[in-house]
Amino acid sequence: MDERPIRDPYHPQRFPIVIVISGPSGVGKDSVMQALRARHYPFHFVVTATSRSPRPNEVHGVDYFFVSEAEFEAMIREEALLEHALVYGQHKGIPKQQVREALASGKDVVMRLDVQGAATVKRLLPDAVLIFLSAASEEELCARLQARAADTDVQIQQRLETAREELQRLGEFDYVVVNAEGALEQAVDAILAIIQSEHCRVHPRIVQL
């Protein structure tokens, strides 16, 4: 039996939720986040800390917090991260304080994570909403990775193999959204519909950190 409170239909209280957008490398997580921002909904978009160098056009504090290895290790020691992982030789993590402050302000929190990180957040925040983002096919995913021109052929094959493994964890997620080539806005529409439906639940999700 669900022990969460039942929403009052006459005076529905709004509880902020945590939305995790995840999926394999190359499915367009960053593009989806940018498109969500462009819609100007009152979400708090968590900025991930990373030890990797910025790519062209990436802005510190907007796309990521770019920090040194030493700075990232200090954040781990100080337990300042909700979750962190070493992904393809690069550290990535979610600062706890960002999430706490956003939830306290009543804002929904949207974060992008790899599949491993999404599982960690779900363990720590069971009421988080996990959305698995997918390309339309493995061939499309491969083409996107090649178009980025950021990896060698060997690295692309490694990412594809990891993607196959991550697809096996789809059952750990609440929703799946296909981000097909040329259909970014449709994928964003689907994510916004999911968020709206979550706020209409009889038993609201209540996230505590």
Residues tagged active-site = 55, 148, 159
Distance from C-alpha of 173 to C-alpha of 179, rounded to nearest angstrom: 16
Rounded CA gap, 27 and 62, in Å? 20
Secondary structure of residue 72 in the 3-state scheme: helix
- Residue 162 dihedral angles phi and psi, to the nearest 5°: -65, -40
Helix (H) or strand (E) holding 142: helix 138-148
**Strands lying side by side in the sheet with 108-113:** 43-45, 108-113, 18-22, 129-134, 175-178
What angle (nearest 5°) sits at the alpha carbon of residue 81, between those of residues 75 and 83? 130
